[in-house]
Structure 1
Amino acid sequence: MPLEFAHQHSGQFPDPGPWKHPQPRPLELTSPLGLDALPNQHFTKVKRNTFDLNLMVVGESGLGKTTFMNTLFNTDLKEEILPRNPQSTQTVQIQPSYYELVEDGVILNLCIVDTPGFGDELNREHNVTPIMEYIDKQFEEYMTAERHPGFRKAIPDTRIHAVLYFIAPNGHGLKELDARALQTLAKKVNVIPIIAKADTMTAEEKVSFKHILLRDLQEHGIKTFPSDYPDEVDGAEELLQHIPFSVIGSDTIARIGNRDVRCRTYRWGVVEVENAEHSDFVYLRELLMSTCLHDLVETTHNVHYHRHRGDALRKLGRPVSILECDETYDSQIEGTKSQNKQEMDRREEEIRQMFVQKVKEKEIALREREDQLNAKKAELMAELEQTRLQLEAENREVEELVTLSRSGTLNKSSSKLFKTPK
């Protein structure tokens, strides 16, 4: 009976696989149930939670990084004391600073990691090493928290979500230090390139410099956020045209017309920080806060952290395989299915082409055989016609002989009949 039941219901109740729910059956409501309130409930619950954003600021000294961060978050962050003599710096320092920003009941735990001393040494070969060690350390601490028995609770996220890399406005492209640093950082974190002190260049110079930087980034194979993460980012298409962002920072607030604006004042005029015609500052802030904050966190977790975690586990001896307990199991299965489908389509096309080729070869062989048979038939028909004509000629000869023979016999009989007796 169980075997008969299994045969009768085969395929009707498929196994949904690990960590999945069975396929539900859709129903229609006879009256409103109140499901439209569920998103509001989720929004209220999420709003009570705190949000994390960990930014690392990397760039040579003198590019206005601290001033820019004050401008970016509309507040006066604690200014770090940098070394007075850059040459006395033995190595790059890592200085995380933690802040809490509150707006309309939404709390943002902000961590800004400064890297004073970067690019200040004569020997810059190992300037990126302390930065990478700090980034890896945060990944390791997150992995340790996941292995803890209470990892189901919220894990403090100290992983770097984005690196704001400041590039000097030299107009000649990436320096060797910038290229090497960006290549290394892009493998571990989301990198956002920024052209510092954009007010030192004209509009034409900024456009030209951006084209040069984009070319250099592509030549060195440097991935930038969000351009190289289209599957992880939504709604940032209009911001891509402004990458790399040319920005201006200022702690000065001046009264222009009827509004107070952050600006830099020169003898030839005023440069407004939040004016889109003067800099890309508004687009960078929109990218970080309004559009891609969640995407930065998710990309850090789903891409960079998972890559680091996978490398660490493989070093411990775990083979490269699709594991059912992995959070990326579904995406890996879908990718495998897609690859298998492409392979089956390719093989099907090869078989079809092979079949068509064999059919063509067979048709050619049959046509050649048909031509040979037609030629043989024509030859046999010619021989048959010749034989028929020969037989007809022989039949006429026989008939003539028979006729002559009969005529000779008749003449002999007549001569005997009318012969006079002696």
Structure 2
Amino acid sequence: MPLEFAHQHNGQFPDPGPWKHPEPRPLELTAPLGLESLPSQRFTKVKRSTFGLNLMIVGESGLGKTTFMNTLFNTDLKEEILPRNPQSSQTVQIQPAYYELVEDGVLLNLCIVDTPGFGDQLNREHNLTPIMEYIDKQFEEYMAAERHPGFRKSIPDTRIHAVLYFIAPNGHGLKELDARALKTLSTKINVIPIIAKADTMTVEEKVSFKSILLRDLENHHIKTFPSSYSDEVDGAEELFQHIPFTVIGSDSVALVGNKQVRCRSYRWGVVEVENAEHSDFVYLRELLMSTCLHDLVETTHNVHYHQYRGDALRAMGRPVSILECDDTYESQIEGTKLQNKQEMERKEEEIRQMFVQKVREKEVALREREEKLNAKKAEMVAELEQYRALIEAEQREVDELMTLSRSGTISKSSSKLFKAK
């Protein structure tokens, strides 16, 4: 663009910024165009695509994690690994299993990552190491695929979208292992705390245990999904009150009333899994499948993966700067604008205070000068009055002498005196 053209049209065509289009001009249609069919076209295309959900199950043995997962997805997720002695391994094993679920033409690729051995050893110091290494490895592989030109169109997403952390219903709050694991995991991934075997507690015990866990989560600064990501999640505000979720799992189906339901039968009665009065299972399923499945994937990508990616790039020597191709460009621009605004307000306040100070100093100097001038004026007026009084006295003497001279009665001595004067 020539320099003259730039000067002539300065400000008329502002730069919208990187990866942005100029603001469009709204128009009115003179006849129907068929725009109302665009959402249905998008819906049809999205429905044909495959959705993915990667869940990691973390918790001590004996909390019914496998039974719960079967109940959650209304299917039989068979274990490929035979049951083992909890003390037979000294490390936590990572066992991903992949499934396909189809409902009404919608395909869900489900990955369940189990962590057998977690919390089973006497020495639990390194229980988290294999889990964190697996999570970082998935981030690393996704980042490598992004940088590879051959995978630009389709990148297999093996990143963990959520961790379902099972807490034993002990009624005494978080154990040291649970608190350390939740705090570490929440910095890397979406964490959903779950109180297992809710049928072992009364309603009052559930309410009390929930309040204790919420207090412990706040004291340890542990982020939980979705309450800690309210800016990223829409429509899940009603589910916040049920965190942490109390759940029940069961593979048994019984006839209750006129309906076949999943339940657990005891001598004193039947506990229905999907009854909101018995557990929070329905709210957890609504969170995972009906409300926040897309938000889980988006939060994993926009928050946790971007944090990992930024740390990895900075470790490779990339400086922290505003780059046009950076994914966090908008947030950095807004932060820079806010910082500049605060700096300008601070400087404006300093200039105002400096101006007020100088005005006050000038006022004091002018007041002192005015007082000096008034004092000098008073002194000169007093001196002028003295001279005036002296002149008036001398004028009277002169008048008297002139009067005596005209009358001819002036004496010789008086004439000499008059000449002397």
TM-score by length of 2: 0.89
Instruction: Give the structure 1 partner of residue 18 of structure 2.
Output: 18
Distance 1:147 1:171, change over 3 A: same
Question: Equivalent residue of 1:54, what SS?
Answer: strand
1:59-83 Cα offsets, whole Å, 9 max, x none, are: 0111111111112112222135464
Question: Equivalent residue of 1:199, what SS?
Answer: helix
Instruction: Give the structure 2 partner of residue 72 of structure 1.
Output: 72
1:280-328 Cα offsets, whole Å, 9 max, x none, are: 2222112111111111101111111122222222333222222222233
Structure 2 gap segments, 5+ residues each: 413-421
AA in 2 matched with 1:265: S
Q: How many residues align?
A: 412
Instruction: Give the structure 1 partner of residue 130 of structure 2.
Output: 130
Instruction: Give the structure 2 partner of residue 415 of structure 1.
Output: none
2:128 and 2:89 mapped to 1: Cα distance?
14
1:54 Cα deviation after fit: 0.2
1:185-216 Cα offsets, whole Å, 9 max, x none, are: 11211111111122222333222222222222
1:286 and 1:14 mapped to 2: Cα distance?
45
State, as a whole percentage, how many aligned pairs show the same letter.
Answer: 85
1:375 and 1:275 mapped to 2: Cα distance?
96
Correspondence list, 1:154-165, <5 A = 154-165=154-165
Instruction: Give the structure 1 partner of residue 230 of structure 2.
Output: 230
Distance 1:202 1:377, change over 3 A: farther
Instruction: Give the structure 1 partner of residue 326 of structure 2.
Output: 326
Correspondence list, 1:260-271, <5 A = 260-271=260-271
Distance 1:32 1:62, change over 3 A: same
Instruction: Give the structure 2 partner of residue 142 of structure 1.
Output: 142
Q: Is the 8 A contact 2:60 2:166 kept in 1?
A: yes
Instruction: Give the structure 2 partner of residue 9 of structure 1.
Output: 9
1:201-250 Cα offsets, whole Å, 9 max, x none, are: 23332222222222222222222212222322122222222222222222
AA in 2 matched with 1:133: E
1:38 Cα deviation after fit: 1.4
2:119 and 2:345 mapped to 1: Cα distance?
53
Distance 1:295 1:367, change over 3 A: farther
AA in 2 matched with 1:327: D
The more displaced of 33-42 and 255-264 is 255-264
Instruction: Give the structure 2 partner of residue 314 of structure 1.
Output: 314
AA in 2 matched with 1:218: E
1:300 and 1:349 mapped to 2: Cα distance?
42
1:175 Cα deviation after fit: 1.0
Instruction: Give the structure 1 partner of residue 63 of structure 2.
Output: 63
Question: Equivalent residue of 1:164, what SS?
Answer: strand
AA in 2 matched with 1:343: E
Check if 1:287 corresponds to 2:287.
Answer: yes
AA in 1 matched with 2:324: E
Correspondence list, 1:167-206, <5 A = 167-206=167-206
1:3 Cα deviation after fit: 3.9
**Following TM superposition, where does structure 1 have runs of at least 4 consecutive aligned residues deviating by more than 4 angstroms?**
80-83, 404-408
Question: Equivalent residue of 2:138, what SS?
Answer: helix
Instruction: Give the structure 2 partner of residue 419 of structure 1.
Output: none
1:111 and 1:181 mapped to 2: Cα distance?
21
Q: Is the 8 A contact 1:165 1:191 kept in 2?
A: yes
AA in 2 matched with 1:283: Y
Q: Is the 8 A contact 1:253 1:260 kept in 2?
A: yes
2:97 and 2:344 mapped to 1: Cα distance?
54
Question: Equivalent residue of 2:228, what SS?
Answer: coil
Instruction: Give the structure 2 partner of residue 88 of structure 1.
Output: 88
1:96 Cα deviation after fit: 0.9
Distance 1:369 1:29, change over 3 A: farther
Question: Equivalent residue of 1:87, what SS?
Answer: coil
